[in-house]
Structure 1
């Protein structure tokens, strides 16, 4: 388990190319945290166009400890996906730091809003960052966890 105290300033945030070795770490962390607990595999996700997305990772040394992707969904809107923080690093500000950096990237791309599909258990986290629920909670196809759409104007 990592000692988080005093380590946040030692994190390296960087864009991850789908052709890099780091990309393999994104598949592993997404599988272990998002898919495996549901009896699923990241291999079931359609990642064929992920090379078009902005994939941001937070590294402690060379270990990926958090990540998220930003996908253009229209000329004015972006979609935030695969927000993942290693369990030993949760509640340390890394998730917030990644989202704020991707919001800045969305602004740089002249996006006016960001949408995301949040698991119901993390809705308060996103609300604290200024996101609002859109519509009613639902269970997405091929999932067993309740989600809700959320959005934020930039």
Structure 2
């Protein structure tokens, strides 16, 4: 498995398709709702295995020295196989190279145990998405290389 930034048109298409299929379509959201206004300012990650994009995520600077991870999506058949952990490790490394000292995210309730297992802690209960998906604001401090 390789974790990298999407490069080709086909990788970008697969990136947005996976985000739509996992994070938007099940709640009857329109095609296009998976694309955010600040995509050009974000760090993007895809997990590619056997030529297939199996996981995606993005991160942007949310305040000085802080990154925010959003739109983490793992293909249903690929969940529970370490892909999410690998993507998050990649994004944490990217954050460290920028000198960021923490990462925050808004986790869906069903993803909270995953984030806790990789060192994130709940700061607060957050918003309700589509009137039914409870989110929790989570944070992880990063140790920068000496």
Per the normalisation by structure 2, the TM-score is 0.89
Deviations along 1:82-104, one digit per CA (max 9) or x if unpaired, are: 11111111111110011011101
- Deviation, structure 1 residue 134: 1.1
Confirm or deny: 8 A CA contact 2:123 2:138 kept in the other structure. yes
2:138 is matched with which residue? 150
Q: Which structure carries more strand by proportion?
A: 2
Q: How many residues were matched structurally?
A: 142
Q: 1:50 to 1:137 in 2, by over 3 A?
A: closer
Confirm or deny: 8 A CA contact 1:30 1:42 kept in the other structure. no
The 2-side partners of 1:96 and 1:42 are apart by 27
Give 1:39-58 correspondences, 5 Å limit. 39-45=28-34, 47-58=36-47
Give 1:56-135 correspondences, 5 Å limit. 56-135=45-124
Deviations along 1:37-68, one digit per CA (max 9) or x if unpaired, are: 11113512552320211111011232111011
The runs of 5 or more residues in structure 1 that have no matched partner are 1-10
The 2-side partners of 1:22 and 1:55 are apart by 11
The 1-side partners of 2:26 and 2:35 are apart by 19
Give 1:30-45 correspondences, 5 Å limit. 30-45=19-34
The 2-side partners of 1:38 and 1:99 are apart by 25
Q: 1:88 to 1:135 in 2, by over 3 A?
A: same
Deviations along 1:23-45, one digit per CA (max 9) or x if unpaired, are: 11111101111111111135125
Confirm or deny: 8 A CA contact 2:123 2:139 kept in the other structure. yes
